[in-house]
Amino acid sequence: MTLTADRNVPRRNGDVFSYPVAAGETVFAGAITCVTSAGFAAPGTTSTTLKTVGVAQATADNNPGLDGAIQVEVRRGVFRFDNSAAADLIALADVNADCYIVDDETVAKTNGTATRSIAGKVRDVDADGVWVEI
């Protein structure tokens, strides 16, 4: 339905969110953090079913624990991660392309023959790693 009067729209800053952690998972501070198909947070791994949500701001240890027993706070933005190697090495020519999750601290140029989820967009590459926008 179209507005016929002013509307007060709730707002978030958009860079910090909190997600329930999957059972048995530990998400370390600084880890690429994803949500699973069930909607629970987990560290980045090689998988095709993860959706990257940000970088963990503190360690969240839900081992042992049930799904959602604790929360992890994540921040969105541009972060530097380790670069993959060989054919999956990301170069400056890859700026603005998608990159893919290898593990919770490493990104790659390709989806690994359809085995990896998208980490985010490559924003820069330097001698220390790949700057990725999540």
Asked if 100 and 110 count as a contact pair (C-beta separation under 8 A), the reply is yes
In the chain, what is the greatest distance between 2 CA atoms, to the nearest angstrom? Answer: 58
86: pLDDT strictly greater than 80: yes
Domain edges within the chain? 16-75, 78-133
Residue 127: strand, helix, or coil: coil
pTM of the model: 0.90
Structure tokens at 95: 């700026």
Tens digit of pLDDT for each residue in 2-24? 999 999 988 777 799 999 999 99
Split at pLDDT 50, 70, 90, the class of 59 is very high
